[in-house]
């Protein structure tokens, strides 16, 4: 059955972006460093239509598996605005992306199969639409932090994957705050370690 998952990179001190983020400073000060392990992998670069990159390692395999499993994405407005300014023309989704925003806007079609839908419907309704779009594939809650928190607190997430980089941000956007811990529990599914990042796979139970 189709699953709803979060897949996110985090610093060891709990940040998914640095301070002062925006269209001219994607992921904020030092925020790109959280994903250094990813930027060097072929599976990531090829989705941006870029050449090169490493293969035959666990990090590359994990990225490939993640890209292959989702059939729709949901993201918050801030993530979209920052991404719109920085993704290449062929945005790295290749499926429908639902953007949670009060802004009225026509769907945005990008080459390579990515269409952004802008919606101010409630998160349950948006998730149902994303599931319908995804078919047998999974739905990824892409971010940012507020969107992840909303879906967690609503008990709507099935799996949570965190890639912890051994770096410190000391400021920025925290992944885990404003949580209602009575609403859900995490259980360790598996852990994959590699030299520059630790991949933690949790299953999430609605309490």
> Applying CB under 8 A, which residues contact its own copies?
12-14, 162, 164, 166-170, 176-177, 179-181, 185-188, 190-191, 193-198, 200, 202
Per-position DSSP letters for 2-26, written without gaps between them: --EEEEEEEETTSEEE-SS-BTTBT
Give the nearest distance from C-beta 122 to its own copies in angstroms: 24
Q: Is 79 exposed, middle or buried (0-12, 13-18, 19+ CB in 10 A)?
A: buried
Distance CA 64, CA 22 (A): 28
Which lies closer to its own copies via its Cβ, residue 108 or residue 164? 164
Give the nearest distance from C-beta 184 to its own copies in angstroms: 9
Which lies closer to its own copies via its Cβ, residue 69 or residue 174? 174
Give the nearest distance from C-beta 22 to its own copies in angstroms: 22
Q: Which residue in 129, 128, 139, 98 sits closest to 3, CA to CA?
A: 139
Give the nearest distance from C-beta 20 to its own copies in angstroms: 16
Which lies closer to its own copies via its Cβ, residue 105 or residue 187? 187
Which strands, in side-by-side order, build the sheet including 184-194? 108-110, 114-119, 96-100, 70-76, 138-143, 4-11, 159-165, 197-206, 184-194
Which lies closer to its own copies via its Cβ, residue 132 or residue 177? 177
85 in helix, strand or coil? helix
Which lies closer to its own copies via its Cβ, residue 81 or residue 171? 171
Give the nearest distance from C-beta 3 to its own copies in angstroms: 18
Give the nearest distance from C-beta 84 to its own copies in angstroms: 30
- CB half-sphere exposure, 53, CA atoms < 13 A: 24
Which lies closer to its own copies via its Cβ, residue 106 or residue 193? 193
Distance CA 54, CA 33 (A): 17
Four-residue CA torsion sign, 201, 172, 80, 37 = negative
């Amino acid at each position: 059955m189709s699953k709803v998952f979060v897949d996110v990179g985090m610093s060891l001190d709990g940040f998914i972006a640095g301070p002062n983020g925006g269209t001219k400073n994607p992921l904020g000060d030092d925020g790109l460093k959280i994903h250094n392990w990813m930027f060097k992998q072929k599976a990531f670069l090829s989705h941006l239509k870029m050449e090169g990159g490493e293969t035959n390692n666990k990090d590359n395999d994990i990225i490939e598996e993640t890209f292959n499993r989702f059939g729709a994405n949901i993201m918050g407005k801030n993530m979209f605005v920052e991404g719109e300014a920085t993704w290449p023309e062929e945005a790295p989704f290749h499926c429908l992306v639902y953007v949670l925003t009060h802004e009225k806007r026509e769907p945005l079609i990008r080459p390579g199969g990515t269409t952004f839908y802008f919606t101010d419907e409630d998160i349950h309704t948006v998730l149902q639409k994303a599931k319908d779009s995804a078919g047998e594939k999974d739905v990824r809650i892409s971010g940012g932090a507020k969107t992840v928190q909303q879906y967690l607190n609503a008990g709507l997430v099935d799996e949570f994957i965190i890639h912890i980089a051994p770096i410190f941000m000391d400021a920025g956007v925290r992944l885990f705050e404003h949580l209602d811990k009575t609403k859900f529990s995490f259980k360790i599914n598996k852990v994959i370690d590699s030299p520059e990042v630790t991949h933690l796979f949790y299953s999430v139970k609605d309490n």
